Structure 1
Amino acid sequence: MSSQGFELPLRLLLAFRVLIDELHAELARQGHPEIRPMHGFVMQAIGPDGSTAVELGRALGVSKQAAGKTIDTLERIGYVERTPDPHDTRRKIARLTPYGLDALSRSARIFDDLRARWAGELGEDRLQALESDLRKVTPANLWRLDTPGWFGTL
C-alpha cells in the first residue's frame, strides 16, 4: 500500500493526539479533571525549580502575557502557586504545588501504561523499532517545550 506524503505527519499527529486524549481521560479518572494538554507543556517548563512568567514565555515560545495568563489558570485550579523570588522581591516565581507534582507523576505512569498497551497491540519488537526509527529522524532533544508557541495556541 502506497501512502501520499501528507499522510505521515497526519498519522504522527493523530498518534500523539490518541495518546494525549487517553492520558487526559485517565488523569480525569485519577483526580485531575481540569488539566488540559497544554498544561503539561507549561508544568514541564516550570520544572522543579519554578519559573517566572518571562522565563516561562521564553521556554514555551509565547509572550510573557500569555505565560502569565496560563500561570493564572494553573494557579486557580491548584497546580501552581506564586511565591516571591528570594533574589528579587519584585518578581514572582511560579512553582508546582503538590497537586501539580502529583499530576506529572501520574502522567509518567500513565504514559508507561499506554506504551505497554501499544507494545501489546503492535508487539514489543515493532514498537522498539518504531521508536528507534523516530530517534533517527528527530532531534536528540526530547523536550521541545516551545510547541505551544509553534502552534500559536497559548
Structure 2
Amino acid sequence: MSTDPPGWELPLRLLLGFRVLIDELHAELARQGHPDLRPMHGFVMQAIGRGGTTAAELGRLLGVSKQAAGKTIDTLERVGYVERGADPADARRKVVRLTERGIESLALAARIFDDLRARWAHALGEDRLRALETDLRAVTPPGALRLDIPGWFGGLD
C-alpha cells in the first residue's frame, strides 16, 4: 500500500495555501482601511496597471466579457479605486485608470504579502520555503504571471 497522498490532494492543498494567503491579505487590508476590496479586485487592478486600459482590453486580459469587466469597473469606481476618463490619443475611447487610493492599496498589498511570506518562512524555515518557491517555479510556466484567473474560474462578481 502506498503512503503517497492521492494525486487530487496536491491541487487542493495548493489552492488552500492560496486561499489562506488571500484571506489573510484581505483581513489586513480591511484593518488598514480597505474593507471594500475583494480577491478578484487585485487581479483587476493589476490588469489595469499604472497606464490604464479600456473595459474591452481589461476583459481580454482577465478572460471575461467586456460587460463583466465593466461591472467590476463600476464597483471599483464607486468605492474610489479606479476612475474613467477620455483617452488623450482618442477622445471617443474611455480609459480606466487607478486612482491614488488604488495605487496605494496595491503597494499596501505588496507589503502585506511580504509580511505573510515572512510568517510562512518562520513557520516552515526560510530554506524550506525558498525550496518550495523554487520547485513551484520549476513546474509552472516561466514569465509573467497570468491575470486571466477570473475568466478561468468562471467570471467576475
Fold match by TM threshold 0.5: yes
Number of residue-to-residue matches in the alignment: 154
Question: 3-state DSSP class of the match of 1:83?
Answer: strand
What stretches of structure 2 of length at least 5 have no aligned partner? none
1:14, distance to aligned residue in structure 2 (A): 0.2
Q: Work out the percentage of aligned pairs sharing the same amino acid.
A: 75
1:88, distance to aligned residue in structure 2 (A): 1.4
User: How far apart, in 2, do the equivalents of 1:12 and 1:102 lie?
Assistant: 28
Superposition map of 1:2-151 within 5 A: 2-151=4-153
1:139, distance to aligned residue in structure 2 (A): 0.7
CA RMSD of aligned residues (A): 0.7
TM-score (norm 2): 0.96
**Is the 8 Å Cα contact of residues 59 and 65 (structure 2) preserved in structure 1?**
yes
User: How far apart, in 1, do the equivalents of 2:18 and 2:151 lie?
Assistant: 18
1:153, distance to aligned residue in structure 2 (A): 2.6
4+ aligned runs moved over 4 Å, structure 1:
none
What stretches of structure 1 of length at least 5 have no aligned partner? none
TM-score (norm 1): 0.98
Deviations 1:112-146, CA, capped at 9 Å, x for gaps = 00000000000000000000000000011242000
User: How far apart, in 2, do the equivalents of 1:141 and 1:5 lie?
Assistant: 26
Tell me the residue number matched to 1:152. Answer: 154
User: How far apart, in 2, do the equivalents of 1:125 and 1:27 lie?
Assistant: 28
